[in-house]
């Protein structure tokens, strides 16, 4: 399921799917196939993807995702 499709569910928000998360990892990504779709939660994300032409998989942000989980568990 895409992040855009998740927006249909009440309370669902993309996690680590903003231009601020994407751009530092873009150089590690692979060539973007197809046309980036609209990113209503962060319009600059789609623009950044079109500009760089790179796709960044979640695995590239694994350290940040794990750190987020640790922080959430400490609450």
Average pLDDT (30-41) is: 85
Listed residue (26, 13, 14) closest to 61, CA to CA: 26
Could you tell me if residue 58 is left (phi over 0), alpha (psi between -120 and 50 degrees) or otherwise beta? alpha
Q: Are 30 and 6 contacting, i.e. CB atoms less than 8 angstroms apart?
A: no
Residue 69 has pLDDT above 90, yes or no: no
Q: Are 19 and 44 contacting, i.e. CB atoms less than 8 angstroms apart?
A: yes
Burial (CB count within 10 angstroms: exposed 0-12, middle 13-18, buried 19+), residue 45: buried
The pLDDT > 90 percentage for the chain reads: 17
The full set of domain ranges for the chain reads 3-73
Residue 68 has pLDDT above 90, yes or no: no
| pTM greater than the 0.75 cutoff | no
């Amino acid at each position: 399921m895409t992040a855009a499709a998740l927006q249909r569910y009440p309370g669902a928000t993309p996690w680590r799917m903003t231009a601020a998360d994407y751009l530092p990892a873009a150089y590690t990504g692979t060539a973007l196939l197809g046309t980036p779709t609209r990113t209503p939660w962060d319009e600059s994300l789609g623009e950044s993807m079109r500009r760089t032409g790179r796709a960044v998989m979640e695995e590239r942000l694994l350290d940040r995702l794990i750190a987020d989980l640790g922080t959430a568990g400490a609450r």
